[in-house]
Amino acid sequence: MDEIITLDYGSGGKKTSRLIEQYILPGFSNPALDVLGDGALIPGSGTLAFSTDSFVVDPLFFPGGDIGKLAVCGTVNDVAMCGAEPKFLSCALIIEEGLPMQTLERVLRSMRDAASTAGVQIVTGDTKVVDRGRGDKLYINTAGIGYQKHALAGLAAVRPGDAVLVSGTVGDHGTSVMLARGGMMEGEIRSDCAALNGLTEAMLSCGAAVRILRDPTRGGLATTLNEFTEGQAFGIELEEGAIPVRPEVRSACDLLGLEPIYCANEGKLVCICAKEDAARLLETMKRCPEGQNAAVIGRVTEDAAGRVVMRTALGGRRILQKLAGAQLPRIC
């Protein structure tokens, strides 16, 4: 373990997992937290889903989105991945002295529009201002709460033969932010930033046996699937040719030495469902705007337990691990 925090610990990959497991969980361990899902399910008169997230993306504005839209959609999605209907958000702003008021107004308008589109309300919040040079323009924290509508069986219900699906093209968000930060190809590649609660509701209402949902943000698709298999008696086998990637995203990643399956997404989800329900679920997803490019990309297998393996286009097999290092810090 390092003696200081480095950017790697915010990547969503191996060091993030180590930080959580060795430092955070021992101090706060409880049944709701130990699941390590996108949000927590809290028992009461009805089951509530609760999540919180912080957003430090650089730059604040990028093709397809901005820090305000990202804050709303990211938290809405975390609640939706619990099988819940997101209803209310909080918004806490940490503003650096010197931020143009016009910039703040633009971000707040974006948050309002994103909340309206997602059907949620921002009902509470907080504002802090830090000295010039002590922050980086603007950080946002949002918390979300909603009501569980659909119970997901989770990883304990996963069986060999189950299908792995993704709701659309991967790597769009991470590539968009990366290029905007470098001032390259601006506008040609757009973030997929979107609220997915409409898509999840359609999926969970169609009768398919959906085991688990997750939005593959930091660390991308490969890291999220490793979180599914880690410590389990099953593995996941992917078909490289089945994973949807936009040609322009693939080209940009090739140029910069990155892999789309490790790039962040902010408007996609990955799920595991029963094999016999895969076709019906895929058809349902494709009828939704956020799932038009959905695809079955692999299956659960008894082989390579605890691992994610990809069959390459050349017919070989490649083990996919969690993201190592900070491929791109400050991505969300």
Give the model's pLDDT for residue 130: 93
- Nearest 5°: phi and psi at 231? 75, 10
Contact, 185 vs 179, CB < 8 A?
yes
Co-location of 175 and 285 in the same domain: yes
Do the domain assignments include residue 140? yes
Co-location of 83 and 216 in the same domain: no
Residue range 209-253, pLDDT digits in tens: 999 999 999 999 999 999 999 999 999 999 999 999 999 999 999
How far apart, in whole angstroms, are the C-alpha atoms of residue 49 and residue 58?
Answer: 29
> Pick from 115, 148, 181: which residue ends a domain?
148
Co-location of 160 and 300 in the same domain: yes
Count Cβ neighbours within 10 Å for each residue of 88-117 and write b for 16 or more, e otherwise.
Answer: ebbbbbbbbeebeeebbeebeebbeebbee
Co-location of 70 and 92 in the same domain: yes
Using pLDDT thresholds of 50, 70 and 90, give the confidence band for residue 185: low
Beta-bridged to residue 214, according to DSSP, are 270
Give the model's pLDDT for residue 64: 95
Q: Which two tokens stand for residue 77?
A: 């999605």
Give residue 188's domain range: 155-320
Do the domain assignments include residue 250? yes
Q: What is the pTM of this model?
A: 0.90
Which range has the worst mean pLDDT, 200-214, 228-242, 313-327? 313-327
Where residue 94 sits, what CATH number does that domain have? Answer: 3.30.1330.10
Do the domain assignments include residue 30? no
> Pick from 119, 148, 177: which residue ends a domain?
148
Co-location of 82 and 181 in the same domain: no
Number of domains in the chain: 2
Count Cβ neighbours within 10 Å for each residue of 6-19 and write b for 16 or more, e otherwise.
Answer: eebbbbbbbbbbeb
Co-location of 161 and 288 in the same domain: yes
Can you tell me the mean pLDDT for 328-332? 82
Where residue 299 sits, what CATH number does that domain have? Answer: 3.90.650.10
Can you tell me the mean pLDDT for 271-295? 98
> Pick from 89, 118, 148: which residue ends a domain?
148
Give the model's pLDDT for residue 155: 96
Residue range 19-35, pLDDT digits in tens: 888 887 887 888 878 88
Q: For tokens 């497991």, what's the residue? A: 21
The stretches of the chain forming alpha helices (DSSP H) are 14-19, 25-28, 31-34, 67-80, 101-118, 172-182, 197-205, 220-229, 247-256, 278-286
How far apart, in whole angstroms, are the C-alpha atoms of residue 220 and residue 131?
Answer: 34
- Classify residue 21 by its DSSP letter: I
Co-location of 186 and 227 in the same domain: yes
Do the domain assignments include residue 17? no
Q: Which of 331, 16, 8, 14 is nearest to 175 (CA)?
A: 331
Do the domain assignments include residue 326? no
